[in-house]
């Protein structure tokens, strides 16, 4: 009797395993064909000279050697790094501030949460056109308001090499929804007892924020920071739609250069090498963030 029962359990487990693999097989096939396969192909092409029309010519590390002597490589990487240095703290600080405000119990709370999150689901191209109109130096809404209220001529925004990167950072105002929602979820999970005890001990709002809130949500800050770093090094749509890499190459982001190499020059081998260098840069920055976080991030036991 026990043997039959054991055999029955084994058959049920095999059926469940079969059902599991059948259900996830579309994802596995999709990953192999559209993600894993292209990743391995790009690694192979990065060691070749290949432009689609001609035969593949294996050149070893030739693409990487050329890349590290390419002025546009350093220019685009510098532009991207400058953008990331401004955009990451801007995104984290403002996302956390919005989450703190939307965590307050006020009338219309759900409406405000929806309003601030809604732009996140809008197409990046649409958002880029919107900001190009808002920050147009000749007839844009922002410069019109500055002149009407303060009599000040607004900056050139996307047309000035000094303000083009800060202008792209400003565009993050309509992309904070995801960061804000994650912060908001973490704030709502904090225990009220800690704040009550701190209030009884005489701790004010600012002290409670820095001594309780920040340590408790530090893992979430780390997560959002890593995501922000990754996104900052993959900027493309905004520059492609608004500035085309100008003025004076000051918005020629790294991914824009990669795009031009692959789809304008059809230099697939060189573009693949660029993609792998980008992967290494992001991987190193992520590992550094995790390494530094061991000292500052608090995990509840």
Angle at which helix 218-232 crosses helix 268-296, to 10 degrees, equals 160
- The closest of 163, 147, 166, 145 to 155, measured between CA atoms, is 163
- Given this model, what pLDDT does residue 80 score? 97
The predicted-structure confidence for 248-288, as pLDDT tens digits, reads as follows: 999 999 999 999 999 999 999 999 999 999 999 999 999 99
Helix (H) or strand (E) holding 57: strand 57-58
Q: What is the mean pLDDT of the chain?
A: 92
The predicted-structure confidence for 233-250, as pLDDT tens digits, reads as follows: 999 999 999 999 999 999
- Given this model, what pLDDT does residue 10 score? 80
The predicted-structure confidence for 73-124, as pLDDT tens digits, reads as follows: 999 999 999 999 999 999 999 999 999 999 988 888 889 899 999 998 888 8
Burial class from Cβ neighbours inside 10 Å (0-12, 13-18, 19+) for residue 180 reads buried
Q: Is the pLDDT of residue 69 over 90?
A: yes
Of the pLDDT bands very low, low, confident and very high (cuts 50, 70, 90), residue 167 is very high
Q: Is the pLDDT of residue 4 over 70?
A: no
Average pLDDT over residues 40-46: 96
Looking at residue 58, what DSSP letter applies?
A: E
Average pLDDT over residues 196-209: 90
Alpha carbon distances (Å) from 165 to 79, 87, 102, 155: 8, 9, 29, 13
DSSP tally for the chain: helices H, then strands E: 16, 2
Distance, CA of 22 to CA of 216 (rounded, Å): 41
SS3 223: helix
SS3 59: coil
Q: Is the pLDDT of residue 156 over 70?
A: yes
Average pLDDT over residues 162-168: 96
Distance, CA of 125 to CA of 130 (rounded, Å): 9
The whole-model pTM stands at: 0.91
Helix (H) or strand (E) holding 49: strand 48-49
Helix (H) or strand (E) holding 6: helix 2-31
Q: Which residues of 26-37 are buried (b: 16+ CB within 10 A; e: fewer)?
A: eeeeeeeeeeee
- Given this model, what pLDDT does residue 179 score? 96
Q: Is the pLDDT of residue 301 over 60?
A: no
- Given this model, what pLDDT does residue 5 score? 67
Q: Which of 4-8, 41-45, 146-150 has the highest mean pLDDT?
A: 41-45
Q: Is the pLDDT of residue 50 over 80?
A: yes
Whether 241 and 125 have beta carbons less than 8 Å apart is answered as yes
Distance, CA of 121 to CA of 4 (rounded, Å): 55
Q: What are residue 235's phi and psi, to 5 degrees?
A: -70, 130
Q: Is the pLDDT of residue 170 over 80?
A: yes
């Amino acid at each position: 009797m026990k043997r039959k029962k054991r055999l029955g359990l084994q058959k049920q487990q095999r059926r469940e395993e079969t059902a599991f693999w059948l259900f996830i097989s579309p994802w596995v096939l999709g990953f192999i064909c559209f993600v894993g396969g292209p990743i391995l192909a790009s690694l192979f092409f990065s060691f070749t000279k290949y432009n689609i029309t001609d035969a593949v010519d294996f050149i070893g590390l030739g693409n990487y050697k050329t890349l590290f002597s390419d002025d546009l490589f350093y220019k685009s990487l510098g532009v991207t790094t400058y953008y990331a240095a401004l955009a990451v703290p801007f995104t984290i600080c403002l996302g956390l501030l919005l989450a703190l405000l939307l965590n307050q119990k006020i009338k219309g709370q759900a409406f405000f949460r929806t309003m601030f999150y809604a732009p996140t689901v809008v197409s990046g191209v649409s958002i880029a056109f919107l900001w190009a109109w808002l920050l147009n130096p000749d007839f844009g809404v922002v410069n019109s308001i500055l002149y009407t209220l303060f009599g000040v001529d607004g900056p050139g925004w996307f047309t000035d090499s000094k303000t083009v990167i800060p202008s792209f950072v400003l565009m993050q105002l309509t992309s904070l929804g995801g960061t804000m929602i994650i912060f908001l979820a973490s704030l709502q999970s904090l225990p009220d007892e800690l704040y009550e005890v701190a209030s009884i001990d005489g701790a004010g709002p600012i002290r409670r924020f820095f001594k309780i809130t920040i340590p408790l949500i530090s893992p979430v800050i780390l997560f959002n920071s890593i995501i922000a770093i990754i996104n900052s090094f993959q900027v493309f749509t905004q520059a492609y739609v608004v500035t085309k890499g100008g003025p004076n190459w000051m918005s020629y982001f790294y991914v824009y250069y990669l795009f031009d190499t692959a789809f304008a020059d059809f230099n697939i081998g060189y573009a693949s090498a660029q993609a792998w260098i980008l992967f290494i840069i992001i991987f190193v920055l992520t590992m550094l963030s995790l390494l530094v976080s061991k000292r500052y991030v608090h995990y509840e036991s």
